Every structure is written in structure tokens, then in C-alpha cells.
Structure 1
Amino acid sequence: MTRPLLVPVIAVMGIIYIFFIPSEPVGFKIFMKLIPMALIILFAIGTRSFLPRTYKRIIIAGLFVSMIADGVIYWFLAGLITFFIAHLFYIFAFRQVLRGAIPKWAATLLLLYGAGMAFWIAGSQFRIGEHFLGIAILAYISIILLMGWTAIRTRLPLAIIGALFFMFSDSVLAIDRFVYEIPYRDAFVMITYYAAQVFIAASVGSRTVKYSVNQKNLIR
């Protein structure tokens, strides 16, 4: 399958999974959930990279670990740990292409988001005596916050959009699971999740522009 066709096929397969695949049998549900991720990995592999080679390799590894996490998320803690590892891969990838400090306004918003989610989501578990789960949630909030923070420092729009979509998807999932039920949760979570992974995969093809001593000479 040629690369230009992969994005619409990913979208179609994602829609089929989200809106048309029943919850039972679980094995078939998981299989259909993994197909869009497998296609996203192929999309990343087929994308020509203008960034350091390690960036593409680590992003693909993160996508693969995310696909595994999709399969084991039905066992919540196993999925949480596996997605934690996937975020580590994304952080390591983004660190290969850092281009500056995070703007103060962005840092403030991320820290407010992290503090709010920690108090709201993790706090709800501490208040009912689920201390282990509360600690696990705090760790996950920290890692996804760091992932978003590092993505912003890359100055790569596709990576930043992907990271923000990922944070939104995880936030909706956490609120629904631990605080109150959100209508159409699956649609909100999975649409933004697949979008996040597509944008992160597409960031492999991002271009950066550096200036030599003579700024008239562009090095692409």
C-alpha cells in the first residue's frame, strides 16, 4: 500500500473500530483495535525523515509499544505501565531534536494541567484508600506531562499536536474511569488517540531549518 493512501485507510479502520465493532468477543475487539496502529507504524516507516535517524527509529519503537499497550489496556495496570514505557520512547525521541526552552506560558499551562489532574484524578484514589493506584496515576501524569513538555521544546508542530492530542485522550479516559462517566467516551478517547499517533508518526517527516554563521546560507 502506498504511503499517501495510508492516512485515509487508517481513518476508515479507526472509524470501523470505534463505531461498528461490538465489545464482544473481546479478542476480535482487540484485533480490530490494533489494525489502525499497525497501519500507523507502516506510515511512519514509509515516511522520509529529514531529522536524525535515531528520531525515526525511536518514534517507531514508541508506536510499537503503544500498539502492545492497546492490547493489554483491558488489564488496566498492565496497560498503564506499557503506555508509560511508550511515553518514555517518545520523550527520548523528542530529546534528539530539542530546539530551545519551553515558553513560560506553555510551561505554566502544563504545570497547571498536571497539578489539576493530580489533585482530581490521583486524589480521588487516595481519598478512598487506593494508595497504590493513586501513586501509579501520579507517575503516569508526570510522564505524559514530561512528554508534552519535551514535544513543545522540539518546535515541531506535528509532534506538539500529537502530544497534546495524547494528553487530551488520556485525560478523558482518566476522568471517565475515576471521576464521572463521560458520554461518548470511547469516541472522544479513540479519535484523539489515533490522531495523536498519526501526528507523532508524521513528525518523522518534519523539516528543521538551521542557520550557519552567515544567515543568508540556509542549511536544511
Structure 2
Amino acid sequence: MVSPVTVVKSEGPKLVPFFKATCVYFVLWLPTSSPSWFSALIKCLPIFCLWVFLLAHGFSFLQAHPSARKILAGLIFSALGDAFLIWQEQGYFSHGLLMFAITHILYSSAFGMRPLNVSVGLVIGAVSSVSYLFLYPYLWGPFTYLVAVYVALIGFMGWRAMAGLRFTSDLWTWTKLSACLGSMLFIVSDLTIAVNKFCFPVPHSRAVIMATYYAAQMLIALSAVECRDAEEVARKIK
């Protein structure tokens, strides 16, 4: 099993550009009232750095590990979603929603269906249902259905990420923990977006949304790089 110290030493330096880009975003804190290609670039820059983070492990690594390729593809669609959301007040919110829906499908595929862990799925299903029922009275038009589909997709992604985390088993890995925490933070970020957009203003919503979002994407990207651990777990399960 890989220790956290080993993970930090091996992967930490590759994440330095991501941390710097995230700091740039929060320091500049460009107003959302004046969307521009520059503000889109600044918002997407940390995600671009996560592309580089995965690519830094080499094309041979990506060719050998389908899960890492799927996470990279998910990050690409995430950046497109971020760009669309810059212009959400101009009617591009649903476009961003679609890009992130594709992202969650890719992440779910990367995390796989083993182990199934039905109990975790039932808990996530219940939480997703309660979340949608809370949002439902505030939704209108196509969003009534679009948000339902999106909640189902991100809930499914969270299930697949959390299903593999077993603290009491020798199948536990840092890869699984990273995916689990990343998915949880992604759900928090997106739920905050939904409540703030459709229900009522959330205090410091933008800071909460972006901090949890960037942390989620970093953890999910990090979950792709210890594929040897993941493959060993898969062999044990089979």
C-alpha cells in the first residue's frame, strides 16, 4: 500500500502549477458580471494544469490505463463546462450542465462497477432524491428534467467513487480515498450552485463553489495516477 508521504513526494511537484493557477483565480477574483474570454481562461487555467498533470505521466501511461484516459477526457469536458458557465446569464447554463453531465459519465466509467457496494448506492440514491425534492419546487421549464438527470448522473458518479473505499479491508488504497473525497466535494460544489441559482442566495457561494470544485477535480485527477494499486484491487475482487 502506498503511504501518503510517498504520494506527496512523487505527485506534489507535478501539482505545483495547479496550485499556482488556483491562487491566481482567487487573487484576481474577476467579477462575474463582466464575462470575457480572459475571465474564462483564468477560471479554466487550474483545470488545464490538471491536464498537464496527467500528461506529465507520459502517453504510455495513458495508453496503458483506460481509467486515466477517461479522467483526462472528463477534465477536458469540465473545462468546456467552466467556459460555458462564464456566460450562464447569457443563456449558456444548460450548455455547461451538459458538459459536466458528460464529465460525470466519464468519471463513473473510470471508477468502474467493481465492487458494486449496493448499500452505498442506496445511501447516495436517498441523498440524491432528497436533494432533488428540495430543488423541485424552485425549478421551471426544461430545468425540471435537466436537473433531475444531472442529479442522477452526479449521484451515480459519487456512488462509483465511494463504493471502492473500505477502511476495514486490505483492498483500501489512497487512490480510492482520493476518488471518494473528490466526488463528495464535487457534489457539495454542484449542490451549492443549484441552491444559489434556483432557490436562494448562499452566503459566499462563489468561494464555496470554486474552492470545493477545484479541490474535487484535483483529487479525482490524483486518483488516476496510482493505477497499479487500482489494478491490484481489481484482481483481488475478481
Q: What TM-score do you get using the length of structure 2 for normalisation?
A: 0.78
Residue aligning to 1:148: 158
Cα distance in structure 1, aligned partners of 2:38 and 2:62: 38
Distance 1:50-1:82 versus aligned 2 partners, 3 A rule: closer
Q: Greater CA deviation, 151-160 or 202-211?
A: 202-211
Cα distance in structure 1, aligned partners of 2:27 and 2:43: 11
Cα distance in structure 2, aligned partners of 1:89 and 1:108: 21
Quote the RMSD (CA, aligned, Å): 2.5
State the Cα distance separating 1:53 from its structure 2 match. Answer: 1.3
Residue aligning to 1:215: none
Alignment of 1:100-119 (within 5 A): 100-102=115-117, 104=119, 106-119=120-133
Distance 1:108-1:25 versus aligned 2 partners, 3 A rule: closer
Q: 1:64 aligns with which of 76, 79, 94?
A: 76
Cα distance in structure 2, aligned partners of 1:181 and 1:6: 37
Distance 1:153-1:140 versus aligned 2 partners, 3 A rule: same
Counterpart contact for 1:30–1:70, Cα < 8 Å: yes
Cα distance in structure 2, aligned partners of 1:12 and 1:149: 31
Alignment of 1:17-28 (within 5 A): 17-23=25-31, 24=34, 26-28=36-38
For structure 1, the residue ranges without an aligned partner over 5 or more in a row are: 213-217
Distance 1:110-1:166 versus aligned 2 partners, 3 A rule: same
Three-state SS of the structure 2 residue aligned to 1:100 is coil
State the Cα distance separating 1:109 from its structure 2 match. Answer: 3.0
Cα distance in structure 1, aligned partners of 2:202 and 2:187: 16
The structure whose RCO (Cα within 8 Å, separation 6+) is larger is 1
State the Cα distance separating 1:3 from its structure 2 match. Answer: 5.9
State the Cα distance separating 1:20 from its structure 2 match. Answer: 1.9
Cα distance in structure 2, aligned partners of 1:93 and 1:21: 33
Residue aligning to 2:114: 99
Residue aligning to 1:174: 194
Counterpart contact for 1:123–1:134, Cα < 8 Å: no
Give % identity: 23
Output the amino acid matched with 1:17. Answer: Y
Cα distance in structure 2, aligned partners of 1:31 and 1:211: 38
Matched, 1:7 2:2: no
State the Cα distance separating 1:181 from its structure 2 match. Answer: 0.6
For structure 2, the residue ranges without an aligned partner over 5 or more in a row are: 1-9, 166-175
Three-state SS of the structure 2 residue aligned to 1:41 is helix
Q: Greater CA deviation, 132-141 or 110-119?
A: 110-119
Cα distance in structure 1, aligned partners of 2:198 and 2:183: 22
State the Cα distance separating 1:40 from its structure 2 match. Answer: 0.8
Q: What TM-score do you get using the length of structure 1 for normalisation?
A: 0.84
State the Cα distance separating 1:51 from its structure 2 match. Answer: 11
Aligned residues: 205
Q: 1:200 aligns with which of 215, 220, 224?
A: 220
Distance 1:33-1:211 versus aligned 2 partners, 3 A rule: closer
Distance 1:110-1:177 versus aligned 2 partners, 3 A rule: same
Cα distance in structure 1, aligned partners of 2:38 and 2:68: 30
Residue aligning to 1:160: 180
Counterpart contact for 1:122–1:135, Cα < 8 Å: no
State the Cα distance separating 1:25 from its structure 2 match. Answer: 5.2
Counterpart contact for 2:121–2:163, Cα < 8 Å: no
Matched, 1:85 2:105: no
Distance 1:29-1:50 versus aligned 2 partners, 3 A rule: closer
Cα distance in structure 2, aligned partners of 1:210 and 1:84: 28
Distance 1:188-1:19 versus aligned 2 partners, 3 A rule: farther
